[in-house]
């Protein structure tokens, strides 16, 4: 991860107006605004988030801010521009670095920082980043946060006025494809349908369970086909037959393996 301060060329105090984070492997940008950010000093696209009380700019709009500062991907002579700058392909980060984030439309530029130079206030935000998410029934999610807490969140309440979410809520297979955003900044189904970590934290109901507890449960209570064969003292063919007859229900199945709840297997053994 690389961190940059966004500054104004004509501000002699070198005040950090915002912070740009870039995750190299995923090629994702995020922008963080300081607690004392001034809407009049903050870059225009970012100030709209500030006016809504949001200090973290999601990856989509962070990328939009970056793209405002570089040559567009549909530029007619793009190939020649890339060649002249030693680039083999269109890369937003590399293009941004060519002029340290400067562009003709404003006076902002970027300065590379170390993580130690970030404001201490960011530590609190990092603690609310997401470590894991588990989809449940009826639009609920289990969300594990970095500071150790677990919350149950009903996303139907969050998206009740958003028609884009209806298709996901009406299809279990789509809802279960929820993923964690790079850096734990939130969750998403696609680039347009996202929920920020702070929204999930605010709307969730605390559950007295930790991520370590959950991992312990999975480690001790989920078994694969080979372990089922050992517990039931039967062949793989017998296990497959139990599944076909609805006597055993897999919690996850793919071409390589099938997983079961150990408690259900033991109950089958008892019967």
Q: Each residue of 18-65: pLDDT tens digit?
A: 999 999 988 999 999 998 888 888 888 898 888 888 888 888 899 999
Q: What's this model's pTM, rounded to 2 decimal places?
A: 0.73
Fold classified for 128-209: NE0471 N-terminal domain-like (3.30.2020)
User: b/e for 210-229, b at 16 or more Cβ within 10 A?
Assistant: ebeeeeeeeeeeebebeebb
- What is the distance between the alpha carbons of residues 2 and 21, in angstroms, rounded to a whole number? 6
Q: List pLDDT tens digits, range 113-142.
A: 998 898 888 877 888 899 888 888 888 999
Break the chain into its structural domains and give their ranges. Answer: 2-117, 128-209, 214-270
Please state, as a whole number, how many other Cβ atoms lie within 10 Å of the Cβ of residue 77. Answer: 10
Tell me what the pLDDT averaged over the chain comes to: 88
Q: Does domain 214-270 match CATH 1.10.3470?
A: no
- What phi and psi values does residue 21 have, to the nearest 5 degrees? -110, 135
Q: List pLDDT tens digits, range 146-198.
A: 888 899 999 888 887 777 787 788 888 888 899 999 889 999 888 778 888 98
Which residue in 213, 54, 233, 230 sits closest to 149, CA to CA?
A: 213
């Amino acid at each position: 991860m690389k961190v940059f301060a966004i500054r104004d060329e004509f501000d002699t105090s070198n005040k950090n107006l915002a912070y740009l984070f870039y995750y190299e492997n995923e090629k994702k940008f995020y922008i963080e605004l300081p607690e004392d950010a001034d809407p009049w000093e903050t870059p225009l696209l970012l100030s709209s988030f500030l006016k809504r009380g949001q200090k973290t700019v999601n990856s989509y709009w962070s990328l939009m801010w970056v793209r405002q500062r570089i040559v567009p991907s549909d530029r007619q002579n793009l190939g020649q521009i890339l060649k002249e700058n030693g680039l083999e392909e269109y890369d937003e980060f590399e293009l941004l670095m060519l002029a340290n984030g400067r562009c003709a439309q404003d006076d902002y530029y970027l300065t590379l920082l170390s993580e130690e130079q970030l404001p201490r206030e960011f530590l609190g935000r990092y603690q609310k980043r997401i470590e894991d998410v588990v989809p449940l029934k009826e639009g609920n999610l289990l969300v594990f946060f970095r500071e150790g807490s677990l919350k149950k969140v009903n996303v139907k309440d969050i998206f009740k006025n958003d028609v884009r979410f209806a298709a996901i809520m009406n299809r279990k297979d789509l809802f279960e494809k929820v993923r964690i955003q790079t850096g734990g900044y939130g969750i998403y189904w696609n680039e347009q349908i996202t929920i920020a970590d702070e929204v999930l934290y605010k709307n969730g109901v605390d559950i007295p369970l930790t991520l370590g507890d959950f991992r312990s449960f999975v480690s001790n209570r989920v078994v694969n086909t080979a372990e089922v064969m050992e517990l039931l003292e039967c062949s793989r063919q017998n296990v497959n037959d139990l599944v076909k007859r609805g006597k055993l229900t897999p919690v996850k199945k793919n071409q390589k393996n099938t997983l079961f709840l150990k408690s259900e297997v033991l109950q089958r053994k008892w019967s």
